[in-house]
Structure 1
Amino acid sequence: MDNIVQFTPKVESTAKQNLNEFIHLCKNELTAFGTGCWINNLWKTPYGKSNRNTVARFSTNTKPYSSYAYTPLGSPFIDFAKAYIRYFYSLNPVSNLQRYMEALRVIEEALIITKGSADILELDGVVLDALPNVLSKRYSDKSALNKIGYQLEKILDFCRSKQITPSFPEWSNPYEKQKDLTILLDDKGKEHRSKKLPSDEEMLLVAQLFHDAPNLSIEAEYYTSIMALLMVAPSRGVELTSLPVNCLEWEEDKAGIKKLGIRWKPAKGGKAGLKWIPTVMEDVVVEAVKRLEKISEPARRAAKFAEENPNVFMRHEQCLTSSSFGDDNALNYLELAAAIGMEMDRPSQMYNKTKWLGQLYREGNEQITYNALGKYFYDLYTSKLNNWPYIDQSSKVKASEALLLHRENEFHSDFEPRNYSFQLPTLNQINDRFVQKSSRDGRSLWAKYSIESPEKGKPIAIPTHNARHWLSTKAERGGMDELTLANWAGRAKVSDNEHYDHRTEDEKSETARNILIPENATALDKININLPVSYEDIGKDLIGVAIVTEFGVCEHDFAMMPCQRHGDCETCKELVCIKGYSSSLDLLKKREEQVAEQFNKAVENHEKGAFGADRWVSALGWRLSHIRTKIRLLENDDLPDGTPIRIPEEFDPSPTKEILREKGLEHDIKQPESITLDDDIYALLEIK
Structure 2
Amino acid sequence: AIGELFNNTLTTPLDIVTVSACSLLLSLPSRIGELADVERECVVFKEDDVGARRMFLRWYAEKGFGATTKPVMTGMESVVERAINLLVPVTEEARAYAAWLEDHPDEFPPHAGVPLKGLDDPLTYVEACAALKTKVHSNHSARKNFKDQWVESISKRASIGPVAQLLLDEIQQGWDATCGSRIYVSGTRHYYEYNDKVVITLRKLNILVREKYLPKDFPYTTPAEDGKKRVKYRDALLTVRTGSLPDETKKSLLMTRDFGVEIAANPNRIAAQLGGATPRKQSIFQRHGYGNLKVSSHSFRHELNTEMQYAGLSQLLIDAFSGRTSMGSVYNHETVEDRTQRVAQYHPKTKYSNAASRLEKVKTNQPLSLSDVTDLHEGEQDLIIHQTHVGICVHNFASEPCPKMGACLTCGKLGCVKGDDVKLANLKEERKDLKCRYDKALDAQSRDIFGASEWVKKVGMSLYKCDALIRTLENPELENGDIVWNADNGWTLTNNAAAMAGLIDVKDIEAKNEQLMSLDDLSAMLDEIEV
Is 1:319 aligned with 2:113? Answer: yes
- The aligned counterpart of 1:499 is 330
Query: Of residues 441, 451, 461 in structure 1, which corresponds to 2:294?
Result: 461
- The aligned counterpart of 2:149 is 356
Matches within 5 A, 1:172-571: 205-212=1-8, 214-215=10-11, 217-270=12-65, 272-316=67-111, 318-322=112-116, 325-332=117-124, 335-346=127-138, 348=140, 351-353=143-145, 355-357=148-150, 359=152, 365=196, 368-385=200-217, 388=220, 392-393=224-225, 394-412=228-246, 415=251, 418-425=257-264, 426-437=266-277, 439-452=278-291, 459-493=292-326, 495-496=327-328, 498-514=329-345, 516-517=346-347, 521=348, 526=349
Amino acid at match of 1:385: D
> Which one has more relative contact order, counting CA pairs under 8 Å at least 6 apart?
2
Q: Which string of whole-angstrom CA distances, capped at 9 and with x for unpartnered residues, describes residues 64-109 of structure 1?
A: xxxxxxxxxxxxxxxxxxxxxxxxxxxxxxxxxxxxxxxxxxxxxx
Amino acid at match of 1:431: A
- Contact 1:264-1:274 within 8 A present in 2 as well: yes
- Contact 2:215-2:261 within 8 A present in 1 as well: no
| Alignment TM-score, normalising by the size of structure 1 | 0.41
Q: Which string of whole-angstrom CA distances, capped at 9 and with x for unpartnered residues, describes residues 235-266 of structure 1?
A: 11111111221111112223333211111111
- Contact 2:220-2:231 within 8 A present in 1 as well: no
- Contact 2:90-2:240 within 8 A present in 1 as well: yes
Report the aligned-residue RMSD: 3.5
Amino acid at match of 1:400: R
Question: 2-side partners of 1:490 and 1:264: how far apart?
Answer: 9
Question: 1-side partners of 2:78 and 2:337: how far apart?
Answer: 35
More strand by share: 2
SS of match in other structure, 1:373 = helix
SS of match in other structure, 2:54 = strand
Q: Which string of whole-angstrom CA distances, capped at 9 and with x for unpartnered residues, describes residues 635-670 of structure 1?
A: xxxxxxxxxxxxxxxxxxxxxxxxxxxxxxxxxxxx
- Contact 2:36-2:222 within 8 A present in 1 as well: no
SS of match in other structure, 1:264 = strand
SS of match in other structure, 1:377 = helix
SS of match in other structure, 1:491 = coil
Amino acid at match of 1:340: L
- Contact 2:244-2:258 within 8 A present in 1 as well: no
Question: 2-side partners of 1:533 and 1:507: how far apart?
Answer: 11
Cα pair distance change 1:556/1:545, threshold 3 Å: closer
Question: 1-side partners of 2:15 and 2:204: how far apart?
Answer: 35
Amino acid at match of 2:6: F
Cα pair distance change 1:326/1:476, threshold 3 Å: same
Shift of 1:500: 1.2
SS of match in other structure, 2:55 = strand
Shift of 1:386: 6.9
Shift of 1:321: 3.3
SS of match in other structure, 2:262 = coil
Matches within 5 A, 1:572-611: none
Shift of 1:335: 4.7
SS of match in other structure, 2:44 = strand
Q: Which string of whole-angstrom CA distances, capped at 9 and with x for unpartnered residues, describes residues 281-333 of structure 1?
A: 111111212333332222222222222222421213x23534xx211234456
Shift of 1:464: 1.7
More helix by share: 1
Structure 1 or 2, whichever has the larger Rg, is 1
SS of match in other structure, 1:431 = helix
Shift of 1:213: 5.4
Question: 2-side partners of 1:234 and 1:242: how far apart?
Answer: 15
- Contact 2:37-2:230 within 8 A present in 1 as well: no
Question: 2-side partners of 1:508 and 1:304: how far apart?
Answer: 52
Task: Count how many residue pairs are aligned between Structure 1 and Structure 2.
Answer: 317
Q: Which string of whole-angstrom CA distances, capped at 9 and with x for unpartnered residues, describes residues 135-155 of structure 1?
A: xxxxxxxxxxxxxxxxxxxxx
Shift of 1:499: 1.1
Structure 1 stretch 288-297 or stretch 245-254: which is displaced more? 288-297
Question: 1-side partners of 2:221 and 2:33: how far apart?
Answer: 18
Question: 2-side partners of 1:434 and 1:558: how far apart?
Answer: 54
Question: 2-side partners of 1:343 and 1:236: how far apart?
Answer: 40
In structure 1, list runs of 5 or more residues that go unmatched.
Answer: 1-204, 453-458, 535-542, 547-551, 560-688
Shift of 1:470: 2.0
Question: 2-side partners of 1:400 and 1:558: how far apart?
Answer: 71
| Alignment TM-score, normalising by the size of structure 2 | 0.53
Amino acid at match of 1:268: K
- Contact 1:390-1:399 within 8 A present in 2 as well: no
- Contact 1:315-1:420 within 8 A present in 2 as well: no
- Contact 2:25-2:31 within 8 A present in 1 as well: yes
- Contact 1:263-1:273 within 8 A present in 2 as well: yes
Question: 1-side partners of 2:129 and 2:299: how far apart?
Answer: 42
Amino acid at match of 2:23: A
Identity %: 23
Question: 2-side partners of 1:404 and 1:387: how far apart?
Answer: 14
Amino acid at match of 1:212: N
- Contact 1:299-1:406 within 8 A present in 2 as well: yes
SS of match in other structure, 2:45 = strand
Amino acid at match of 2:3: A
Shift of 1:490: 0.8
SS of match in other structure, 2:8 = helix
Q: Which string of whole-angstrom CA distances, capped at 9 and with x for unpartnered residues, describes residues 46-73 of structure 1?
A: xxxxxxxxxxxxxxxxxxxxxxxxxxxx
Cα pair distance change 1:441/1:383, threshold 3 Å: closer
Cα pair distance change 1:513/1:337, threshold 3 Å: farther
- The aligned counterpart of 1:582 is none
SS of match in other structure, 2:131 = helix
- Contact 1:245-1:403 within 8 A present in 2 as well: yes
Cα pair distance change 1:476/1:222, threshold 3 Å: same
Cα pair distance change 1:434/1:389, threshold 3 Å: closer
SS of match in other structure, 2:2 = helix
- The aligned counterpart of 1:7 is none
Shift of 1:372: 1.9
- Contact 1:218-1:411 within 8 A present in 2 as well: yes
Question: 1-side partners of 2:31 and 2:67: how far apart?
Answer: 14
